[in-house]
Amino acid sequence: MDRVYHWEFEGLNAAIQLSWNEVQKFSGVEIICYTNLQTQIELHPNEEFRKSQIPGVPPEMIKSLSVESLNEGSWKEIARMDNNLHRLFRVSFPSISTNSIRINLKETYGQPTVKLFEVRCY
């Protein structure tokens, strides 16, 4: 049986919203992006082995995203990443109180769908 351990959105410019019944206070967000860990992406010294590898940034990697919080009925951007090159996106900001955040997954490095592994708010 195949198991799915990620969120997948058809198309680009997708968003995921996290909401709580009560207002939460936090000052950081961690996002783990999908990078297709089954694909070899390191440059191996053996030429035959390199033929199965993809050079450069995996096309599944999220290139740009933003994080917004809901305050008094309006969304306010609290973090942004453009030209991301890391699987782990971690951002800190002055403490906020909200009952909802939204993560806007805007662009990948070529994949027509967006996938996300994990979101944590601290």
- Hey, what are 26's tokens? 């936090």
Domain membership of residue 34 as a residue range: 7-121
Residue 113 φ/ψ, nearest 5 degrees: -120, 160
What is the overall mean pLDDT for the chain? 87
pLDDT of residue 16: 94
Query: Number of structural domains, the chain?
Result: 1
Query: Is residue 107 a part of any domain in this protein?
Result: yes
Query: Is residue 105 a part of any domain in this protein?
Result: yes
Query: Is residue 2 a part of any domain in this protein?
Result: no
The residues, ordered by sequence, that sit 6+ positions from 17 with a Cβ below 8 Å of its Cβ are: 100, 101, 102, 103
- 79: domain CATH number is 2.60.120.260
pLDDT of residue 87: 87
pLDDT of residue 43: 57
Which whole number is the average pLDDT over 74-98? 93
Is 39 within 8 Å of 52 (Cβ atoms)? no
pLDDT tens for residues 6-63? 888 888 899 999 999 999 999 999 999 887 766 655 556 777 766 666 667 888 889 9
- Hey, what are 62's tokens? 């999220």
Statement: residue 99 has pLDDT above 90: yes
Query: Is residue 37 a part of any domain in this protein?
Result: yes
- Hey, what are 87's tokens? 């699987």
pLDDT of residue 50: 66
- Split at pLDDT 50, 70, 90, the class of 77 is very high
Query: Is residue 1 a part of any domain in this protein?
Result: no
pLDDT of residue 69: 97
How much is the pTM? 0.81
Which whole number is the average pLDDT over 67-82? 95
